[in-house]
Copies of this chain bind each other. A is one copy, B any other.
């Protein structure tokens, strides 16, 4: 069964309203759609069918139609999707154009590496400042981002309307820092402190990053594949 919405698409003018309760699995796929469509746009492609997108993304075509349908649907049967339209709509849905303000707390190696990337700007997030406790880095600039003392963190967040705090502090410091910034109005925490940050405040979104977990999964899969090969031989 084709689940493409024939009414909307490039010609539809009605606002795209996500249906209530879109599953988090779908939401997690949206940035991938955004990334793939961005690459296609840069390659000069204009339209794509769900079958072509399926081959690129390793998601079934019917899953793709279903996913995009959750957000009102953008396809036109027989014509495929207008890539630019879809890209812009997904940008809008994701809040890429919201121009959020972020600070990085922890000017260590990971904090510096994050400050150096174009990841923030590309997604409409402004890196306003970094914060640390080390007097030798306070007052310097790292990749043009000013570093301030953690003592100034709460006031800075309040004064500059900071939406996102990026935590690259030792795990022992994570709850203290989280409490300072959430009291100062920060609404989202991108947590690299390698612990599950759980806050009582339901208004604050926490995205925990565990790079080590991903490395472990890789080791597990290498080991399992090895064992399988040895068995087969």
Contacts and interface: CB of A to CB of B under 8 A. Distances in A.
B188 A222 contact: yes
A155 to B, nearest CB: 21
A159 interface: no
Given A220-B94, A221-B205, A215 B125 contact: yes
A28 B93 contact: no
A27 B217 CA distance: 7
A225 B203 contact: yes
Given A123-B216, A215-B120, A219-B124, A225 B209 contact: no
A196 interface: yes
Given A31-B216, A109-B112, A222 B205 contact: yes
A35 B190 CA distance: 19
Most B C-beta atoms less than 10 A away, residue of A207, A210, A223: A223
Contacts of A95: 219-220, 222-223
A167 to B, nearest CB: 12
Given A119-B215, A123-B216, A98 B190 contact: no
18 contacts: A27-B220, A27-B221, A30-B220, A31-B213, A32-B210, A34-B216, A96-B219, A100-B222, A110-B116, A113-B113, A119-B211, A125-B219, A164-B218, A164-B222, A187-B225, A187-B226, A203-B225, A205-B221
